[in-house]
Amino acid sequence: MTAKYEVHGSVAVITLENPPVNGLGYTTRVGITDGLQKAHADSTIKSIVLTGAGKAFSGGADIKEFGSPKALAEPNLLSVILALENSSKPVVAAVHSVCMGGGLELALGCHYRIAAPGCNVALPEVKLGLIPGAGGTQRLPRALGVEPALNMIVSGDPVKSELLAQIPGQKLFDKMAASAESLAEEAVAYAQAVSDTRPLPLVRNLPCRHPNGDAYFQFARNMVKGMAKNFPAPGKCVDAIESATKKKFDDGMAFEREIFTALMFTPESRALRHIFMAERAASKVPDVPQDTPQRNIQSIAVIGAGTMGGGIAMNFLSAGIPVKMLEMKQEALDKGIAIIRKNYEAQVKKGKLKQDKYDQRMSLLSTTLSYDDLKDADMVIEAVFEEMGVKEKVFKELDRVMKPGAILASNTSTLDMNKIAAFTKRPQDVVGMHFFSPANIMKLLEVVRGEKTAKDVLATVMAAAKKIKKTAVVSGVCDGFIGNRMIEQYGRQGGFLLDEGCTPAQVDKAMEKFGMAMGPFRMGDLAGNDIGWAIRKRRYQEKPGMKYSKTADLLCEKGRFGQKTGAGWYDYVPGKRDAIPNAEVVKMIEDHRASLGITPRKISDEEIVQRLVYALVNEAAHILEEGIASKASDIDMVYLMGYGFPIYRGGPMNYADQVGLFNVVQSMQRFAQNPLDDAAFWKPAPLLAKLAAEGKTFN
């Protein structure tokens, strides 16, 4: 049982006790109905208080039950709410801290509600591609008024209880408690005061009207359509709320249920629920228990004040952690600091950052030219030039000066972390922290686990990532780690498509229509085509048999490195990011194609999307099999957070699962027949072939 029953004089108090947020799992639901029965069987009880222990009234559905039959087992949430409504003794909900989703729907089923100030109140189902499914769309508009309820349900965002209590005419909260501390006592007193009131008020009996309903709902629909192009749920929220104003309560409930059930099966909701779980799963490393002790991180050092070093430093400054930056020359430090200043000042100008916060952040930043000044830092992150020789010098210096137990991290994007660790006498303290550019903005962090990286180092870095608001995913050591190793195959397919008949704009448009934030060629222009060029030159040495399109090399030979040179696959106007197709580039591609004796063919958007996305999927299957990633959902997080993969598709692995791995493998076998493609690459990874044959999925 995860609910407690106590008696205070003539008042029964039912307290939800299902940490961390009193999720409404099966045993908690039974606890509520059992409590109600006890209270009714006892003639000395005149009224009932329903509340939650610890950090919440209730956060809603129990995520541990997601997708399991237990979630729907009787008494389900609808039955519990009905039992509350039907109680012949008054029930007072005493809400505090967190009152969300099913938790709020539960409170709305009670006769009275008393709230502590500071309580976060929300119906966040829309964030999982759903609408509230236990009366939220029917009761909240009745209790709060149509417009404020619609805003809450469509956004899913929490609103503080004291703000809701100020809405004129609202019936959501009958009383505000003076404080969270006095809530329990005030709720019992309130329950005593209403013990003889009859008939008992029910939210379902409140009127639900909007003075200009048709015009308002039309406006709301247009607004939602603009905001949530690829997501059906927000629009469905509007439909359900409108029905609350037009249908009888029970008919509205049936309509809500119908919509809720239909949304459960949409790919968008599946994707959002997958991401919700994947995000939580990413922070858990299979062989690093949750209670692994962590090292204390009070201060950071950053080596290199270039593009990445500056962004990395900002992450920690913004989290209130002091940073000391080291460079070889004062000018480099000055330049780095000026950029950090400029970035923060832009936020101040936009009103996103208060001046005093900005001053406070800058006061946490110090600089040095001497390694000896770093000795007290708890963690150092290196972001110097990407050359093994330079990294060697830096790590030998760090090994010399850093205090014992300090964490030594490298932001390398391509180099072997095990080799870097071996430059020190403490490889157990060395780890990769692969940030993405711009490092102060991009949410993704690949934490690269070396052969010898200690478990407490990993646990500490994962926790530090959370502090600086990054989504961290653990990767093993390999060339490119998870994200860039996959993107190389994606880029290679992009090259073949040009050789076979596409223009860069055609490929980009198809991928952007699929939902990618940017097509591969626009992305190349943003990241710098020279980076891919350098990698290819290395590959030509390492893997001479590997097939590549030479088009990108030709582009780089013309100095068209992308946005930074004002020209890449596209042209750019200074200060703007619009990609303008360039006729010379198209001609260059055509000439190259002709020199290879290839007759261009018309290639469908569908083929473009499949070849690029399945290239990611096949490489990812190898990555999973090799244990570089520990779960498929981690790979999805990398692509959603770091590479602009569309959220509503849930990441490449989730997308492949939805398409069906059997179908994915069939397409790969078709691509392998194309003489201009790389047949060897399209041999499905053994893991993928096996899952497809067994009718299974990655996730």
Q: Known catalytic residues?
A: 105, 125
Find where tokens 């609202």 sit.
170
**Number of chain residues interacting with ligand NAI (CB under 6 A):** 25
Coil vs helix vs strand at 47? strand
**Least distance from C-beta 385 to ligand NAI, angstroms?**
5
Judged by beta carbon, residue 141 or residue 336, the one nearer ligand NAI is 336
Q: Looking at 80-88, 148-156, 287-295, 409-417, which segment touches ligand NAI (CB under 6 A)? A: 409-417
Residue 518 in the binding site for ligand NAI (CB under 6 A): no
Characterise 60 by phi-psi region: left (phi > 0), alpha (psi -120 to 50), beta (else): left
Dihedral over Cα of 439, 445, 451, 453: its sign:
positive
Q: Which residues contact 62 (CB under 8 A, 6 or more apart)?
A: 18, 23, 24, 25, 26, 28, 71
Residue 394 in the binding site for ligand NAI (CB under 6 A): yes
**Least distance from C-beta 521 to ligand NAI, angstroms?**
17
Q: Looking at 123-131, 246-254, 326-334, 612-620, which segment touches ligand NAI (CB under 6 A)? A: 326-334
Judged by beta carbon, residue 108 or residue 332, the one nearer ligand NAI is 332
- What span, in angstroms and rounded, lies between the C-alpha atoms of 651 and 636? 4
The binding track of 423-462 with respect to ligand NAI, each residue x by CB under 6 A or -, is -----------xxxx-------------------------
Residue 327 in the binding site for ligand NAI (CB under 6 A): yes
Judged by beta carbon, residue 515 or residue 644, the one nearer ligand NAI is 644
Judged by beta carbon, residue 531 or residue 659, the one nearer ligand NAI is 531
**Least distance from C-beta 411 to ligand NAI, angstroms?**
4
Judged by beta carbon, residue 150 or residue 300, the one nearer ligand NAI is 300
Q: Which residues contact 262 (CB under 8 A, 6 or more apart)?
A: none
Residue 523 in the binding site for ligand NAI (CB under 6 A): no
Query: Quick check: 490 and 615 in contact, CB under 8 A?
Result: yes
Find where tokens 């009366």 sit.
135
Residue 678 in the binding site for ligand NAI (CB under 6 A): no
Residue 92 in the binding site for ligand NAI (CB under 6 A): no
**Least distance from C-beta 435 to ligand NAI, angstroms?**
6
Q: Looking at 298-306, 612-620, 663-671, 672-680, which segment touches ligand NAI (CB under 6 A)? A: 298-306
Judged by beta carbon, residue 122 or residue 464, the one nearer ligand NAI is 464
**Least distance from C-beta 52 to ligand NAI, angstroms?**
44
Residue 413 in the binding site for ligand NAI (CB under 6 A): yes
The residue count of the chain comes to: 699
Using CB under 6 A as the binding rule, the residues of this chain from 369 to 388 that contact ligand NAI are 383-386
Residue 633 in the binding site for ligand NAI (CB under 6 A): no
**Least distance from C-beta 502 to ligand NAI, angstroms?**
26
Residue 328 in the binding site for ligand NAI (CB under 6 A): yes
Among 7, 73, 163, 390, which residue interacts with ligand NAI (rule: CB under 6 A)?
390
Q: Which residues contact 319 (CB under 8 A, 6 or more apart)?
A: 467, 468, 469
Coil vs helix vs strand at 91? strand
Residue 305 in the binding site for ligand NAI (CB under 6 A): yes
Characterise 42 by phi-psi region: left (phi > 0), alpha (psi -120 to 50), beta (else): beta
Judged by beta carbon, residue 327 or residue 607, the one nearer ligand NAI is 327
Residue 3 in the binding site for ligand NAI (CB under 6 A): no
- What span, in angstroms and rounded, lies between the C-alpha atoms of 602 and 606? 12
Q: What are phi and psi of 695, to 5 degrees?
A: 70, 25
AA letter at 679:
A
Query: What single string gives the DSSP state of each residue in 523-551?
Result: HHHHH-HHHHHHHHHHHHHH-TT----SH
Coil vs helix vs strand at 135? coil
Among 412, 440, 475, 489, which residue interacts with ligand NAI (rule: CB under 6 A)?
412
Residue 307 in the binding site for ligand NAI (CB under 6 A): yes
Give the nearest residue (CB) to ligand NAI. 306
Q: Which residues contact 367 (CB under 8 A, 6 or more apart)?
A: 305, 324, 325, 326, 327, 333, 337
- What span, in angstroms and rounded, lies between the C-alpha atoms of 408 and 429? 6
How far is C-alpha 475 from the chain's CA centre? 18
Among 13, 303, 379, 687, which residue interacts with ligand NAI (rule: CB under 6 A)?
303
Q: Looking at 174-182, 389-397, 400-408, 535-543, which segment touches ligand NAI (CB under 6 A)? A: 389-397
- What span, in angstroms and rounded, lies between the C-alpha atoms of 125 and 294? 34
- What span, in angstroms and rounded, lies between the C-alpha atoms of 681 and 492? 11
- What span, in angstroms and rounded, lies between the C-alpha atoms of 699 and 689? 15
Residue 484 in the binding site for ligand NAI (CB under 6 A): no
Locate 377 and state its tokens: 């830092």
**Least distance from C-beta 491 to ligand NAI, angstroms?**
15
**Least distance from C-beta 640 to ligand NAI, angstroms?**
18
Nearest residue to 108 (alpha-carbon basis) of 61, 150, 143, 148 = 143
Q: What does the binding site for ligand NAI look like in residue numbers (CB under 6 A)? A: 303-309, 326-328, 332, 383-386, 390, 393-394, 411-413, 434-437
